[in-house]
Amino acid sequence: MPIYDPERDIPDLTGKTIFITGGTGGLGAASALHLAKHNPEHIYISGRNAAAAKAIIQQIHETNSITSVTFIQCDLASLTSVSQAATTFIAQPQVQKLDILICNAGIMAHTPALTTDGYEIQFGTNHLGHALLIKKLLPLLTASPDPRTVLLTSQGWALHPSGGIIFPDLRTTQSFPFGGPWRRYGQSKLANLIWARELARRVPGLTAVSVHPGVVGTGLFHGLGLKDKLLIYATAWWKFVSVQEGAWNQVWAATVDKKEVVNGGYYEPVGRLKDGRLDGDARDEGLGERLWNWTEEALEGL
């Protein structure tokens, strides 16, 4: 396909309501800035940092004074916080539908820890928090004539442990013989990829895809230890792209004509379907079924 140009290739978004998790910085903020230039009705950005949100909102308004932008406090590592964020969004009087949900926020190669609800922190943040948000917002998504959900995964999904997801250990900090932080990260990113496919299969009318942004020097990268940074530089220094370019794949997936998207597919930059690269665990329909049932049970009553 031709080189992607968001200025040219994002269509007019008049009337669209958009929700971006992690929209206060990094790829989420870059996505909001790209999309705002095409006149959506309202963009909601969630995150933990109200001051950062204020700065992004001001930056958006400098380029587009028409689109409304609202910050919603949300910590994906707390299911209570996610529920409150969804309730706040749903209660907005102007919200009648949700056209685009970009599940962008996440953490990477985190040290062993648990969420406030007792789940392994990368899995709890990257998958479970987003799964709850999607569950809460599904009625508004399905009220849209063209609902779109984009889940940010990573080529790091391939670092998942043998078997894909170690369900019995998800309420522990999960230790592995080697590469623990990256194994846990890969497990959570595999879950993002599988969840998009399950949503596409189970929710009529919803277009859901997973996307890899490329190798981007966001805060996630800069927060890594020196050894991890050197490893990434040594193996992928020539692939690094700017944060603005790193957002291209997700804004493409959020706005391209749905006829050009394989529902449930996994895409690498920009708009390149890469389902053929998936390993046996990533393709396993039984694993998708098990993840769906495990997640439904974990979120029961929320």
Give the CATH number, domain containing residue 278.
3.40.50.720
CA distances from 256 to 14, 62, 261, 272, 301 (A): 14, 25, 8, 13, 35
pLDDT of residue 224: 52
Residue 157 lies in a domain: yes
Which residue range is the domain that position 291 belongs to? 9-296
- The more confident residue out of 231 and 132 is 132
Q: What is the mean pLDDT of residues 67-94?
A: 97
Length of the chain: 302
Q: How large is the average pLDDT for residues 180-198?
A: 97
Q: Is residue 36 included in any domain, yes or no?
A: yes
- Place 109 in a pLDDT band, splitting at 50, 70 and 90: confident
Residue 2 in any domain: the answer is: no
Q: At what angle do helices 26-36 and 248-255 cross, to 10 degrees?
A: 50
Q: Is residue 184 part of a domain?
A: yes
Instruction: Indicate the number of domains in the chain.
Output: 1
Catalytic residues: 185, 189
Mean pLDDT value across the chain: 92
Residue 237: per-residue pLDDT: 41
Give pLDDT tens digits for 199-237: 999 999 999 999 999 876 555 544 555 555 455 545 544
CA 153 to chain centre: 7
DSSP string, 83-117: HHHHHHHHT-TT-S---EEEE-----SPPS-B-TT
Domain membership of residue 92 (yes or no) is yes
Question: How many Cα neighbours within 13 Å face the side chain of 211?
Answer: 29
Instruction: Please report the pLDDT score of residue 169 as a whole number.
Output: 97
Residue 270 lies in a domain: yes
Sheet with 68-73, edge to edge strand ranges: 68-73, 42-47, 17-21, 100-103, 148-152, 207-211, 266-268, 272-273
Tell me if 4 is assigned to some domain.
Answer: no
10 Å Cβ neighbour count for 283? 13
pLDDT at 7 over 90: yes
Residue 243 maps to a domain: yes
Confidence tier at 65 by pLDDT (50, 70, 90): confident
Q: Cβ-count burial of 128 within 10 angstroms (0-12 exposed, 13-18 middle, 19+ buried)? A: buried
Grade residue 174 by pLDDT with cuts at 50, 70 and 90: very high
* Mean pLDDT value across residues 290-302: 97
Give the pLDDT mean for 289-298.
Answer: 98
Mean pLDDT calculated for residue range 172-192:
94
